[in-house]
Structure 1
């Protein structure tokens, strides 16, 4: 049974540019402009009309956008929840400008070992992450640590928890890795690793969406009975001011917005693509977390019930549940 029939999230790509070269991502390889304030303001009004509650300012590295603080301020003024994920290279420089404007601030971490983390990111940024934690805390911010879990680093969750998140009273978000397009991230997580993730998800200040684990055990999205609701739950806007469908990672079609996002999204041409969400041949086996998360929240099924406890846990810790209603 569908609970919510309108989009709830906007993945707003402020730029595809990045100052890191992560091996498990290809976004940084793309040439890219930056979004403009004019286009953003036009789209913000239509996102409100469409029912969107959360705007994820993403990239690339979103802090490369020199007016990110203004974008965030306008989104907050419009009543949206805001989220930003950063590699922390620029956070110490811009922390004061961003203060109080991000509801869910995420710092990316791949390893508790400096050399290993830097190698994964293709740039020296481990020290910037540690500095950023202290700067954020001094600014009364509550950043989360997003730990992307691979088969080769699952045993390092304990050190991240003991050495970084618990001493700083931060939430540790466990992000199971996924493959997409031609980007290969290594072998799939084993049954043993999935069980370890489930155990860690029950620990203090650790967030793991248990539905992610079930989805992987079940072979991901299946086109004959899709669980993915990417196109109907999530508006994806590119740096070129285009609506991307059915999701960023698949991105089979895009449309110039031209100051008319609401009517464009409601148009027959777009809705025909929305209706194919999770049903395209490329959707078979998909487990992409950033689209499954909202998919699990809008429709009552087995994944909804699996996702609910961890979702409530995170929103209770962060206090963001108050802004969702």
Structure 2
């Protein structure tokens, strides 16, 4: 049974540019402009009309956008929940400007070992993550540590929890890695690793969406009975001010918005693509977290019930539930 029939999330790519070269991402390889304030204001108006509640300001590295603080402030004024994930290279420089503007601020960290983390990111940023945690805490911010889990670093979860997140009173978010397009991440997580993550997800101040694990154990999305609701739950806007469908990672079609996002999304041509979400041949086996998370939240099925306890846990810790009422 479908509970919510309108989009709830916008993945707003403020730029594809990045100051890191992560091995498990190809976004940084793309040439890219930056979004404009005018286009954002036009789209924000229509996102609100469409029922969107959360805007993820993403990239690339979102802090490369020099007006990110203004974008966040306007989103907050419009009643949106805001989220930003950063590699922290620029956070110390802009921390004061971002204060109180990000509801869910995520600092990426893949290892408690400096050399290992820097190698995965292709740039020296471990020290910046540590510095950013100290600065954020001093400012009264509550960042999360976003740990992308690979088979080769799952054994480092305990040290990150014990040495970094617990002493600083932070939430540790476990983000199981996924393959997409030609990007290879070293293979799927083993059953043993998936079970380790399930155990960690029950620990204090650790967030793991258990439905991510269940979906992987069941072979991912299946086109004959899709769980993915990417296009109907999530609007993807590119730095070129285009609506990308059915999701960023597949991106088979894009439409120029031209100050008309509301009507564009409702159009027959767009809705025809929305109707194919999770059913395209490329969707078979998909486990991409950023689209599955909202998919689990809008329809009552086995994944909804798997996701619910961890979702309630995180929103209680972060107090974001108050903004959804």
Normalised by the size of structure 1, how large is the TM-score? 1.00
Give the drift of 1:95.
Answer: 0.1
- Equivalent position of 1:103 in the other structure: 103
- Equivalent position of 2:72 in the other structure: 72
State whether structure 2 residue 170 is matched by structure 1 residue 170.
yes
State whether structure 2 residue 90 is matched by structure 1 residue 123.
no
The whole-number CA distance in structure 1 between the counterparts of 2:139 and 2:259 is 36
Taking the TM superposition and a 5 Å limit, the aligned residue runs for 1:246-285 are 246-285=246-285
The whole-number CA distance in structure 1 between the counterparts of 2:265 and 2:221 is 24
In structure 2, stretches of 5+ residues that fail to align are none
In structure 1, stretches of 5+ residues that fail to align are none
Give the drift of 1:187.
Answer: 1.4
Normalised by the size of structure 2, how large is the TM-score? 1.00
- Equivalent position of 2:6 in the other structure: 6
Give the drift of 1:298.
Answer: 0.2
Taking the TM superposition and a 5 Å limit, the aligned residue runs for 1:22-101 are 22-101=22-101
- Equivalent position of 1:137 in the other structure: 137
The whole-number CA distance in structure 1 between the counterparts of 2:109 and 2:249 is 22
The whole-number CA distance in structure 2 between the counterparts of 1:126 and 1:155 is 18
The whole-number CA distance in structure 2 between the counterparts of 1:156 and 1:79 is 38
The whole-number CA distance in structure 1 between the counterparts of 2:215 and 2:52 is 25
- Equivalent position of 2:305 in the other structure: 305
The whole-number CA distance in structure 1 between the counterparts of 2:148 and 2:111 is 9
Instruction: Describe the SS at the equivalent of 2:94.
Output: helix
Instruction: Describe the SS at the equivalent of 1:157.
Output: helix
Give the drift of 1:147.
Answer: 0.2
Give the drift of 1:204.
Answer: 0.1
Taking the TM superposition and a 5 Å limit, the aligned residue runs for 1:203-282 are 203-282=203-282
Partner deviation per Cα, 1:212-263 (whole Å, 9 max, x = no partner): 0000000000000000000000000000000000000000000000000000
The whole-number CA distance in structure 2 between the counterparts of 1:78 and 1:195 is 40
The whole-number CA distance in structure 1 between the counterparts of 2:175 and 2:72 is 24
Taking the TM superposition and a 5 Å limit, the aligned residue runs for 1:285-300 are 285-300=285-300
The whole-number CA distance in structure 1 between the counterparts of 2:172 and 2:71 is 27
Partner deviation per Cα, 1:89-126 (whole Å, 9 max, x = no partner): 00000000000000000000111100000010000000
State whether structure 2 residue 183 is matched by structure 1 residue 187.
no
Partner deviation per Cα, 1:165-214 (whole Å, 9 max, x = no partner): 00000000000000000000011100000000000000000000000000
The whole-number CA distance in structure 1 between the counterparts of 2:188 and 2:52 is 33
Give the drift of 1:8.
Answer: 0.1
Over 3 Å off, 4+ runs = none
The whole-number CA distance in structure 1 between the counterparts of 2:218 and 2:29 is 32
Tell me how large the CA RMSD over aligned residues is. 0.3
The whole-number CA distance in structure 1 between the counterparts of 2:187 and 2:153 is 12
The whole-number CA distance in structure 1 between the counterparts of 2:190 and 2:118 is 25
The whole-number CA distance in structure 1 between the counterparts of 2:5 and 2:167 is 41
The whole-number CA distance in structure 2 between the counterparts of 1:320 and 1:69 is 20
The whole-number CA distance in structure 2 between the counterparts of 1:147 and 1:165 is 11
Give the drift of 1:7.
Answer: 0.1
The whole-number CA distance in structure 2 between the counterparts of 1:206 and 1:187 is 24
- Equivalent position of 2:16 in the other structure: 16
Q: Matched residue pairs, number?
A: 325
The whole-number CA distance in structure 1 between the counterparts of 2:109 and 2:57 is 18
